[in-house]
Structure 1
Amino acid sequence: MAVGPVEYLVVAFPGSRFTGAIAPALADAVASKAVRIIDLAFVYRADDGTLETVELDDLDPEDLVSFEPVEGEVTGMLNAEDIRKLGERVPPGSSAALIVWEDLWAVPLTAAVRASGGQLVAHERIPADVAEAAVSAARSAR
């Protein structure tokens, strides 16, 4: 079974509460079948740096995106140690969403690469600020 690239994102919000403002955009990505949410976790980092995992049941259901678990059991995506390490990167006094997703748009490409004997030799994400600067410079050069 071909699987698309699996990525994660940590989005921090100032204050003690996750905001559901990103939920509609994430829901659109899921509904379009571009991605599948594999794991979702929430943390709060207090002003003194202590970290608290926030359970899904503690959040407003309006602020959440529904997701279908992957068939079978997916292990090792976000374990307690991962959540702790990622949570330590969240600024004190902020809450954060930790999202793991599969890029479903890439599944047919992955299958075609494997079927033709190809292999992935590099996969990196270009930071948003670098990409935005390059696009801005190209537009200015016109």
Structure 2
Amino acid sequence: MAIGPVQLIVLGFRRPDFHGEIVAELERLRQSDTIRVIDALAVYKDAAGEIEVEHLSTLSSEEAVELGSKVGALIGLGIAGEEGLEAGAVLGAQAAANGVEVFGDEDAWDVLADIPNDTAAALLLIEHHWAVPLRDAIARAGGFRLGDGFISPVDLVAIGLVTRQEAEQLDTLLEARTTA
């Protein structure tokens, strides 16, 4: 089976207050075969910038063994300590020797640096099952991805897709969570 398009989503939390809602929604999406969570990490950064990592998962035991810690490998986070760092370096060198292009410094995304001190982040590596037929149709038509990104509610107001009131309600909800 070919893998669907994969996306790394990084969500920040000023004062995490998890009630299981996020995991429940991810599980609902998995059950409907819309997405698959390949891997998920919670990263806590204290006021001094020190990082603590916790592996999160909705994967079965078999999937977890098969996939390992892909987010950590993707962002260069040596969860397995020096052993994990060395294993990652060996795999990276093998990939480069096999002609796999590696990101240059100008293309790199330092996910950990983007997490503000004294906050937490959830890093979700998601496979979009729903997009496989669309991706394949685009490829058959000779198309390719030039870029992608989520659009902010403010920009959606500017183009008339949501009302200012709807965007303000979202901002109020998010602001209430960050100042509480």
- Under a length normalisation based on structure 2, what TM-score does the superposition of the two structures give? 0.56
Write the mapping of 1:1-142 to structure 2, written as runs, cut at 5 A: 1-15=1-15, 19=18, 20-56=20-56, 66-67=58-59, 69=63, 77-79=71-73, 81-83=75-77, 85-114=110-139, 116-133=140-157, 134=159, 135-136=161-162
Q: Which moved more, 1:119-128 or 1:27-36?
A: 119-128
SS state of the match for residue 136, structure 1? coil
Higher Rg: 2
SS state of the match for residue 144, structure 2? coil
| Unmatched 5+ stretches in structure 1 | 57-64
Aligned length: 129
More helix by share: 2
SS state of the match for residue 162, structure 2? helix
Give, in whole Å, the separation in 1 of the partners of 2:144 and 2:64. Answer: 23
Tell me by how many angstroms 1:100 deviates. 0.4
Cα root mean square deviation, aligned: 3.3
SS state of the match for residue 88, structure 1? helix
Q: Structure 1 81/102 Cα, relative in aligned 2: closer, same or farther at 3 Å?
A: closer
Asked if the contact 1:51–1:88 (Cα under 8 Å) also holds between the matched residues in 2, the reply is no
- Under a length normalisation based on structure 1, what TM-score does the superposition of the two structures give? 0.69
| Unmatched 5+ stretches in structure 2 | 79-109, 165-180
